Each structure stands twice: as C-alpha cells, then as structure tokens.
Structure 1
Amino acid sequence: MPINRIAVGTPGEASHPDSLRAALAEFISTLIFVFAGSGSGMAFNKLTDSASTTPAGLVAAALAHAFALFVAVSVGANISGGHVNPAVTFGALIGGNITLLRSILYWIAQLLGSVVACLLLKFSTGGLETPAFGLSSGVGAWNAVVFEIVMTFGLVYTVYATAVDPKKGNLGIIAPIAIGFIVGANILAGGAFDGASMNPAVSFGPAVVSWTWTNHWVYWLGPFIGAGIAALVYDNIFIGSGGHEPLPTNDF
C-alpha cells in the first residue's frame, strides 16, 4: 500500500534551500495559472456584459485554463515538479513521492500564489470583482462533490501516468500538455455545473478576495478525495512496490 510510504520528512527540510526554491516555484506557477485563468473569465465578463456562463464563455475558460496550466506546469516541473494544485500535492504525498513537510510548504505557496494573483487582478482591473466558484441552479453540494471527485481523479491519474510513473519514458515530455488538456476537457464537462475547480488553490484565491465562502468546502473535499483515490489506484495497480522510486532523503 502506498500509504505505508508516506514520509513526514526531517525538521531541516522545511528550511532547506531546495525546499524553499521549490515552494517559490509553486507560488510563481500558481500565480501565473490563476492570473490567466481567472483573468480570462473576468475579461470575458467585461466584453460580453457578464455572459461567462454562455457556451462561448465555457469554451474560453477551458482554453485559457488548459493553456495557462500547460505553461505553469512546464515552468515549475524541473524545480518543484510543477504541482500547481494542493490536490496534486496530496496525491503525490499519498503515493510517497513527496514528504509531508514539503507538502505543507507547497500548500502554503500555492494558496498564497492564488490570493496574490486575485489581488493583482482586482487592482489591475480597477476593482472588478474576482468571482468565486459556486454551484449552478439545481446542482446540490454533494452533486458538486461527486463532480469534483471524478474530475480530479482524472487529473491526478493523468499526472501519475505522464509525470510520476518511473516507466513513463518519453511520455514525460508531453506531461504538461496532457495535464493541461485534461483540465480543459473537465471544464467543458463540469464548468456549467460547479465551475470545475479540481484545485483548492484556484477556488481559495477568489473566495478570499471576494470574501464569498458559500459551499467552499466542496472545492476542498472533492479534489482531495479524487486525488487520493487516483494515487491509490495508480500506485497500487500500475506502479507497485517493485517499480516505486524511494524518496531522496540524503539531502535533509
């Protein structure tokens, strides 16, 4: 079971230069992603008089998030692994691919990156609202949780298959593209129902800046459950104990 490989890490890891550089990379990557993704929605609202819920708005959101995530993962991959998502970090933790201490650093950096991105959007647009994620009419909270579980499962499963699996070979080169594509596709599938977050950081920044917390828990519970299931399934069935690469601990 991959749960047996969860490592807490050593106290020195929290202040190690490599960990701090990785956390900074996550902050910058998340800022880039949220600024472009949320900014595209705000721009579409401005151009179409608040019509981001139209089919054209949904397609625009899917493309913007897919392109932005492709870039954000690419620029962070060689430094932090390019998680850009607390749920992805949680999935990596469950699979024993990152320590708990480094995960906490990543989570803090990702949440701060999202908040700063939304503050920059609010300032640079002259105070326009940064809309928080919410449920569409007729969609219950638990319906949205299931949506988030399934969509985040697909995202983290893709991360494992293209970036984490030691057998990935040349497939790792296209990992950022595949990760961006699955997020864009999921937005087309679930965006009209609950906004298709798949990423607690993406939901957290707008919620803080707009101070809107209605059903915010959905965007934490669903992604973390989906990420955990994907990690357990892929690590147990397709990687296995024989193919798992142990965490490098000699630096800490």
Structure 2
Amino acid sequence: MSGVDQLKTKEFWRPISAEFLAMFLFVLGGVSSTIDRESAPSNSNSTASQSDRTKHISLCFGLSSATMVQCFGPVSGGHINPAVTLAMVVTRKVTIIKGVFYLLAQLVGAVAGAGIVHLFSPSDFRENLGVTRLGKDVSGELGLLVELLLTFQLVFTIFASCDPKRTDLGGSAARAIGVSVWIGHLFGIPFTGASMNPARSFGPSVITTNFKDHWVYWVGPFLGAIMAALLYEHIFCPSSGEPSPGRVIRREANGGLHR
C-alpha cells in the first residue's frame, strides 16, 4: 500500500499534476464567486440579498465541481479534495504515497488559485477573501458537526455514483457530485461557509493569513469522509455480480423481464 516504487513512473506524476490543475481552477472559480462587487462601498445601488448571494456561490461551486470531475476524472479520479483522497486511501483505492502527493498537489493548487483571485479582486475584499468562517452564534463544535455532515453526504455520493459494481447507474457521476456540492453549500453557507474541502479553506487562509477556527475545516471533513467511505464499503456497497434492487434484468430463457 505504500507505493514508493511508483515515484519513478510517468503514470504516477500525471494524475498528481491533474489534481494540482483541477484544484487551481476549482478555487479560482469558486472563490471568485464570493466577491460581492455589488456591496462595494463605491456601489450605492446594491440590491443583492444574502439569499441571492448564497444561491450564486452554491451554484458556482457545484458547477465547478461537476466540470472539474468531468475533465480530470479519467486522469486522476477527480478527487479535488483532501477529504476524498483520505477516504480513498482508507478504503485501499489509492496507495498511501499517492495520497500524500495528491494532498500536497491539492494544497499548492488551492494556494495558487486563491493567490490569483487575490491579485485581481477589489482591495475592499482582500482581507477576508473567500475565507470560510463560522456563522454568527455558531460554535466550533457545531461547525465541526456541520462540516462532518456536509462532507459525509458528498463522499457518500462520490462512492455510490462511481461504484463499478452497481448495475443501475446511469447519467453522469460528475453531475451527481456537482449537485451534492451545490446542496451542501445551500445548507452549510450560513453555518460554516460550506467548505467540505480542507484545501478549499486552506488556500484563502494562507493568502490572507487568517486561520481562525481553521481546525474545523480539517477535522470535520476528514471525519465525515472516513465515516462515509467505511459505511458505504462495508454496509451499503453491493456485492460484485449481483444486480441492484429495482434494476430491470432480462431473463435469459424467454426474453421476459423481472425485477
């Protein structure tokens, strides 16, 4: 499981670079959506509500996730999230050494993406640009629980929608993952800013040197990811070769159908 011998191969570094680029683009697009230019001091005619901004940010992060998974999934698996990578390592889908390099690539990509956003953002927003923060009256413990639950539903969606043993899968796994991220933001933004992704929080925090309550955005997602991965793999994962319940299967004998 260590996979140290992989370091000498091109096949090892190709997905690593993909995770860097995917995270860079994800943070670049997602963090940019948090800039509320309508509320800038120079704009006295702002009518944007907090609800509108929440929907805007949620949709941007959801679409960005779906796009990056669609683009980079065939190359690296499209983790784009240290919590997802940890879940894959825990369930032995990724070697430990590859998981470590995935994590490093994701963190560097997040910092680079946040740095670019910082360069072209208005000066009024640079101090707390895209930093995930706890909402009003939200304690660290509550924030931890929220991030755990948000990441749980995301990682469970990833495992379920990408499971090669399922016989009922149709449509797009990338779309399902993007919708999961979208839902998580709609629910979680008022509480924690809806990170679900330690690297997404790490990038802006490094650029703004703001690490207040930052532990929440590592511990919560990591715990949620591990719980979702183990629960799916050991309880809900279908057995290989067996049809999923509700799947219409053709009878070999007479061509009829049964469920």
Report the TM-score when normalising by structure 1. 0.87
User: Deviation of residue 166 (structure 1)?
Assistant: 2.2
Q: How many residues end up aligned between the 2 structures?
A: 233
Aligned residue in 2 for 1:150: 149
The CA deviation string for residues 176-231 of structure 1, in whole angstroms up to 9 with x for no partner, is 10111011111111111110100001000000000000000000000000000001
Match of 2:201 among 190, 203, 220: 203
Rounded to whole Å, the distance in 2 between the matches of 1:228 and 1:61 is 26
**Which whole-Å CA distance do the structure 2 matches of 1:24 and 1:197 have between them?**
23
> Residues 53 and 221 of structure 1: is their aligned pair in 2 closer, same or farther, counting only changes over 3 Å?
farther
Counterparts of residues 69-218 of structure 1 (less than 5 Å):
69-125=65-121, 128-129=125-126, 130-163=129-162, 165-169=163-167, 171=169, 173-218=171-216
Residue 2 (structure 2) aligned to one of 8, 25, 32:
8
Q: Can you list the C-alpha shifts for 1:115-153, whole angstroms capped at 9, x where unaligned?
A: 000111112336551231111110000100000111100
Alpha-carbon distance, 1:46 to partner: 1.3
**Contact 1:37–1:61 (CA under 8 A) maintained in structure 2:** yes
Which digits, 9 at most, give the CA deviation of each residue in 1:61-119, with x for residues without a partner?
Answer: 11000110111111110000000000001111111100010001100111111100011
CA-based RMSD of the aligned residues comes to 2.0
Q: Which deviates the most, 201-210 or 231-240?
A: 231-240
Aligned to 2:15: 22
Aligned to 2:218: 220
SS in 2 for 1:41: coil
- Residues 1:222 and 1:78: Cα distance change in structure 2 (over 3 Å): same
5+ residue gaps, structure 1, are 1-6, 245-252
For the residues of structure 2 that align with 1:168 and 1:15, how far apart are their CA atoms?
A: 34
SS at match of 2:33: helix
Q: Give secondary structure in 2 for the equivalent of 1:38.
A: helix
Cα distance in 2 for residues equivalent to 1:113 and 1:169 = 35
Instruction: State the match for 1:47 in structure 2.
Output: 38
Equivalent residue for 2:235?
Answer: 237
2:25 to 7, 29, 32: 32
Aligned match of 1:250: none
Asked if the contact 1:14–1:105 (Cα under 8 Å) also holds between the matched residues in 2, the reply is no
Q: More displaced, 148-157 or 129-138?
A: 129-138
Greater displacement, 11-20 / 174-183: 11-20
- In our comparison, the structure showing a higher alpha carbon Rg is 2
Query: Aligned equivalents of 2:205 and 2:98: distance in 1?
Result: 25
| Percent of paired sites with the same residue | 33
Contact 1:35 1:117 in 2 (8 A): yes
Structure 1 counterpart of 2:255? none
Q: For residues 81 and 132 of structure 1, do their structure 2 counterparts lie closer, same or farther at Cα, with a shift above 3 Å needed?
A: same
TM-score by length of 2: 0.85
8 Å CA contact 1:91–1:228 kept in 2: the answer is yes
More helix by share: 1
